[in-house]
Structure 1
Amino acid sequence: MVCIPCIVIPVLLWVYKRFLEPIIYPFISPIINTFWTKKAVQESGSSDQKVNEKSNGTHQPGSNGVATANGSTIAEDKKTD
């Protein structure tokens, strides 16, 4: 048996997104825009760029080497099978 919140919460969210948000959003959008003034960061280049992993676990798209602690880049050894 599914718990009550697992049914009620998605239904309430669907009702809000489908019916209430189109009515409420024009009134609350100026308030939201005062808090959320930053524009989204847009990535330039193609979406199929190679993504490498830095030593700290973050991804650096489009890099052809491994980043070191001082920010320089070292070329990777390529596997040959």
Structure 2
Amino acid sequence: MVTKLDRLARSLSDARDIAGELTAKGVVLSLGGSTHDPTDPVGRLLFNVLGMVAEFEADLIRMRTREGMAVAKAKGRLKG
């Protein structure tokens, strides 16, 4: 059981690889209380959509962090 897909993997390709390994071992993946069957076309679609959204959110966080650090550095508040 994983609470959110971004806690399972750092990218969509990693999530797919991990889900493939788990499926091959007969493990059922539960994301936030919902069971997703990667062998079912709809389950695979939902898994990929959730993975893309999680990867998008992580990219936004990284982008905002870099922008914030650049602003802080320009104002002399970032020393490192």
The answer to whether TM tops 0.5 is no
TM range (shorter): under 0.3
Q: Which structure features the higher share of helix residues?
A: 2
- Higher Cα Rg, which structure: 1
Alignment TM-score, normalising by the size of structure 1 = 0.25
Higher relative CO (Cα under 8 Å, sequence separation at least 6) belongs to: 2
Between structures 1 and 2, the one with greater strand share: 1
